[in-house]
Amino acid sequence: MEVRDLHPWPDTRAEAEAIQDGLRPLLDLDSPGPVRPRTVAGLDVSYAGDGDGTGARLAAAAVVLDAATLRVVEESVAVGTAAFPYIPGLFAFRELPTLVEALRGLRTVPDLLVCDGFGVAHPRRFGLACHVGVLTGLPAIGVGKTAFVGEHATPGPRRGDASPLTDDGEVVGRVLRTQDDVKPVFVSVGHRTGLDDACRIVLELAPDYRLPETTRRADRLSRDALRS
């Protein structure tokens, strides 16, 4: 599939933040988004080592599933190098180049992208899912495993229970329980999707495990690609 060319690459933290600020106005946070996506792509990245600096070997995977059956429609992997040090808030710059390469290897154009990490639930309201959404033009959401920004009440214990994730007085996402008595995930919108739809789709993608099947598939594929 087509993906917009990467903007000039930042060498410093300030440049990276400037890029986020420049791209943020391109976000579409009002469109209804895909109510019934037929295909959903999961994105994930695995690392080889080398700590949090630049240069670590990594593998990025994009796995397209049929949303109704959760069967794999297509897979794409790319190996590369960490393009930026790990800095909370600038996480996207670390793996974006390789992730984009994996997306370009896709023949299918998915109806929705599910990223590991966050969308607008981000200090500058421009997390990885926003970045990927703007670069591809596709609806995108983020599913994070641990808290990053904002405050939230503990959601109820049952699958489907949720509580709003708020930051500076605005709702930036939702803490969603995907399985009974299992630690919830953090869902936030990235691009061209509503929060209600995002949460409903995440639940549909996670019938048996805490994380959506899209993420689990991409995680496994990227990990396997790293050892070869």
Partner DNA sequence: GCGACAG
Partner DNA sequence: ATCTTGTCGC
Candidate residues 45, 73, 96, 138; the one interacting with DNA per rule CB under 7 A:
45
- If binding is defined by CB under 7 A, does position 139 make contact with DNA? no
Residues 81-110 that bind DNA (CB under 7 A): 86, 88-92
Residue 66 in marked binding region:
no
The nearer residue to DNA, 66 or 168, going by C-beta atoms, is: 168
Which residues are bridge partners to 114 per DSSP?
42, 141
Residues 6+ positions from 25 with CB-CB distance below 8 Å = none
Instruction: Check if the beta carbon of residue 153 is closer than 8 Å to that of residue 166.
Output: no
Q: Which residues contact 13 (CB under 8 A, 6 or more apart)?
A: 87, 90
Contacting residue, 3, 26, 147, 171, with DNA by CB under 7 A: 147
The two three-digit tokens of residue 149, written as one number: 């920004």
Does residue 117 interact with DNA by CB under 7 A? Answer: yes
Residue nearer to DNA on the CB measure, 116 or 197: 116
Give the DSSP letter of residue 83.
-
Query: Does residue number 60 form part of the binding site for DNA (CB under 7 A)?
Result: no
Q: Give the nearer residue to DNA in terms of CB position, either 126 or 203.
A: 126
Which is closer to DNA, CB of 54 or CB of 109? 54
Helices (H), the chain: 13-23, 92-104, 128-136, 195-205, 213-226
Q: What angle do CA 164, 16, 141 make, to 5 degrees?
A: 35
120: contact with DNA by CB under 7 A: no
User: From the CB of 36, what's the least distance to DNA, in Å?
Assistant: 26
**By the criterion CB under 7 A, which residues form the site for DNA?**
44-49, 52, 86, 88-92, 116-118, 122, 127-128, 142, 144-148, 219, 223, 226
